[in-house]
Structure 1
Amino acid sequence: MRIESFDLLDSKDKFHQKALHWSGQFDEISFFNSNGMSDQWGKFEQILAVKALFSFRANENVFDQLDAFLRLHQSQFIPGFLSYDLKNEIEELQTTGKDQLEFPEAYFFVPAITLRWMAGQVHIEAEDPVKIYQAISDTQIPAITPISVQVQSRWTKGEYVKAFENVQAHIQRGDIYEVNLCQEFFADDADISPMEVYHRLNTISPTPFSSFFKVGYHFIMSASPERFLAKRQGKLISQPIKGTAKRGANPTEDQQIIADMLRSKKEIAENVMIVDLVRNDLTRSALPGTVEATRLFEIQSFEQVHQMISTITCMQDPEVANVDVFRNTFPAGSMTGAPKIAAMQICDQLEARKRGIYAGSIGYFDTVHDEFDFNVVIRSLLYNKQKRYLSFHTGGAVTNQAAADQEYQECLLKASGILEALDASLGE
Structure 2
Amino acid sequence: MTTTSRIDFTQPLDGQAARLRQAFGRPRQLLLAHTHADVRAVLDAVHAAAQRGHWCVGYLRYEAAAAFDTALQTHAADGPLAWFAVHDAPMPWPDDNLQQRAADPARVEWADGPERAAFDAALARIQQAISAGELYQVNYTAPLRGRLQGAAEALFAALQQAQPGGYAAHIVAGDEQLLSVSPELFFDWHDAPGGGRIVARPMKGTAPRGATPGQDMANAEWLRTAPKERAENVMIVDLLRNDMARIALPHSVRVPVLFATQALPTVWQMTSDVQARTRPGTTLTDVFAALFPCGSVTGAPKVRAMQMIRQLEPAPRGVYCGAVGVVRPRGPAGADGLRAVAATFNVPIRTVVLHTQGGQQRVHCGIGSGITCGAQADAEWREWQYKRAFVERASMPFELLETLALEDAAFRHLPEHLARLRGAAAHFGVPWDADAVQQCLRALAQRHLAQRWRVRLLLDAAGRPRAEAFALHAASEPVRLALATRAFTAAHSEFVRYKTTRRAHYAAFAPTAPGVFDTLLWNEAGEITESTFGNIAAYIDGRWVTPPCCCGLLPGVGRAVALREGRVAEAVLRLTDRPRVQGWAFINSLRGWLAATVQ
Q: Normalised by the size of structure 2, how large is the TM-score?
A: 0.60
Question: How many Å separate the matches in 2 of 1:107 and 1:283?
Answer: 27
Q: How big is the shift at 1:251?
A: 2.1
Structure 2 contact 109–395 (Cα < 8 Å) conserved: no
- Using a 3 Å threshold, how does the CA distance of structure 1 residues 103 and 196 change in structure 2: closer, same or farther? farther
Matches within 5 A, 1:327-346: 327-346=289-308
Question: How many Å separate the matches in 2 of 1:378 and 1:153?
Answer: 20
Aligned AA (2:343): F
DSSP-derived class of the 2:247 partner: coil
- Using a 3 Å threshold, how does the CA distance of structure 1 residues 112 and 297 change in structure 2: closer, same or farther? same
Residue 124 of structure 1: aligned partner: none
Moved more, 255-264 or 71-80: 71-80
Q: How big is the shift at 1:43?
A: 5.0
Residue 185 of structure 1: aligned partner: 144
Residue 347 of structure 1: aligned partner: 309
DSSP-derived class of the 1:377 partner: coil
Q: How big is the shift at 1:151?
A: 1.2
Q: How big is the shift at 1:250?
A: 2.5
Residue 74 of structure 2: aligned partner: 95
Question: How many Å separate the matches in 1 of 2:187 and 2:143?
Answer: 25
Residue 410 of structure 1: aligned partner: 383
- Using a 3 Å threshold, how does the CA distance of structure 1 residues 137 and 255 change in structure 2: closer, same or farther? closer
Matches within 5 A, 1:371-390: 371-386=342-357, 388-390=361-363
- Using a 3 Å threshold, how does the CA distance of structure 1 residues 41 and 71 change in structure 2: closer, same or farther? farther
Question: How many Å separate the matches in 2 of 1:367 and 1:309?
Answer: 28
Question: How many Å separate the matches in 2 of 1:143 and 1:343?
Answer: 43
Q: Does 1:111 align with 2:79?
A: no
Structure 1 contact 144–196 (Cα < 8 Å) conserved: no
Question: How many Å separate the matches in 2 of 1:68 and 1:242?
Answer: 33
- Using a 3 Å threshold, how does the CA distance of structure 1 residues 174 and 70 change in structure 2: closer, same or farther? same
Question: How many Å separate the matches in 2 of 1:96 and 1:357?
Answer: 13
Question: How many Å separate the matches in 1 of 2:115 and 2:97?
Answer: 48
CA offsets, 1:276-321, max 9 Å, x none? 0000000000011100111101111011111111000000011332
Residue 17 of structure 1: aligned partner: none
Residue 131 of structure 2: aligned partner: 172
CA offsets, 1:19-43, max 9 Å, x none? xxx43xx5x3233254x99971675
Question: How many Å separate the matches in 2 of 1:138 and 1:199?
Answer: 10
Residue 66 of structure 1: aligned partner: 43
Question: How many Å separate the matches in 1 of 2:342 and 2:89?
Answer: 20
Unaligned runs of 5+ in 1: 1-21, 118-132
Matches within 5 A, 1:14-93: 22-23=1-2, 28-34=4-10, 40=15, 43-60=18-35, 61-72=38-49, 74-92=52-70, 93=72
CA offsets, 1:111-150, max 9 Å, x none? 2552256xxxxxxxxxxxxxxx9xx799994663354533
Q: Does 1:236 align with 2:198?
A: yes
Structure 1 contact 38–208 (Cα < 8 Å) conserved: no
- Using a 3 Å threshold, how does the CA distance of structure 1 residues 287 and 62 change in structure 2: closer, same or farther? same
Q: Does 1:249 align with 2:211?
A: yes
Residue 420 of structure 1: aligned partner: 393
Residue 3 of structure 1: aligned partner: none
CA offsets, 1:349-379, max 9 Å, x none? 1012210100011111113431111111001
- Using a 3 Å threshold, how does the CA distance of structure 1 residues 45 and 88 change in structure 2: closer, same or farther? closer
Give the alignment's Cα RMSD to 1 decimal.
2.6
Question: How many Å separate the matches in 1 of 2:278 and 2:5?
Answer: 30
- Residue identity over aligned pairs, in percent, reads 29
Q: How big is the shift at 1:385?
A: 1.6
Moved more, 37-46 or 50-59: 37-46
DSSP-derived class of the 2:375 partner: coil
Question: How many Å separate the matches in 1 of 2:208 and 2:12?
Answer: 20
Q: Does 1:326 align with 2:288?
A: yes
DSSP-derived class of the 1:385 partner: strand
Structure 1 contact 230–237 (Cα < 8 Å) conserved: yes
Question: How many Å separate the matches in 1 of 2:16 and 2:48?
Answer: 24
Structure 1 contact 44–116 (Cα < 8 Å) conserved: no
Question: How many Å separate the matches in 2 of 1:168 and 1:301?
Answer: 29
Q: Does 1:220 align with 2:199?
A: no
Larger Rg: 2
Structure 1 contact 285–317 (Cα < 8 Å) conserved: yes
Structure 1 contact 51–112 (Cα < 8 Å) conserved: no
Question: How many Å separate the matches in 1 of 2:229 and 2:393?
Answer: 27
DSSP-derived class of the 1:258 partner: helix
CA offsets, 1:199-229, max 9 Å, x none? 1111122132122111122111112111001
Q: How big is the shift at 1:45?
A: 4.6
Structure 1 contact 217–384 (Cα < 8 Å) conserved: yes
DSSP-derived class of the 2:353 partner: strand
Q: How big is the shift at 1:344?
A: 0.6
Aligned AA (1:182): T
Moved more, 201-210 or 392-401: 201-210
Structure 1 contact 32–210 (Cα < 8 Å) conserved: yes
CA offsets, 1:313-362, max 9 Å, x none? 00001133221111111011100000011001100110122101000111
Question: How many Å separate the matches in 2 of 1:355 and 1:95?
Answer: 9
DSSP-derived class of the 1:293 partner: strand
Q: How big is the shift at 1:252?
A: 1.7
Q: How big is the shift at 1:197?
A: 0.6
- Using a 3 Å threshold, how does the CA distance of structure 1 residues 151 and 263 change in structure 2: closer, same or farther? same
DSSP-derived class of the 1:266 partner: helix
Number of equivalenced pairs: 380
- Using a 3 Å threshold, how does the CA distance of structure 1 residues 222 and 193 change in structure 2: closer, same or farther? same
Unaligned runs of 5+ in 2: 331-339, 398-503, 506-599
- Using a 3 Å threshold, how does the CA distance of structure 1 residues 361 and 137 change in structure 2: closer, same or farther? closer
Aligned AA (1:220): L
Question: How many Å separate the matches in 1 of 2:56 and 2:153?
Answer: 21
Matches within 5 A, 1:280-319: 280-319=242-281
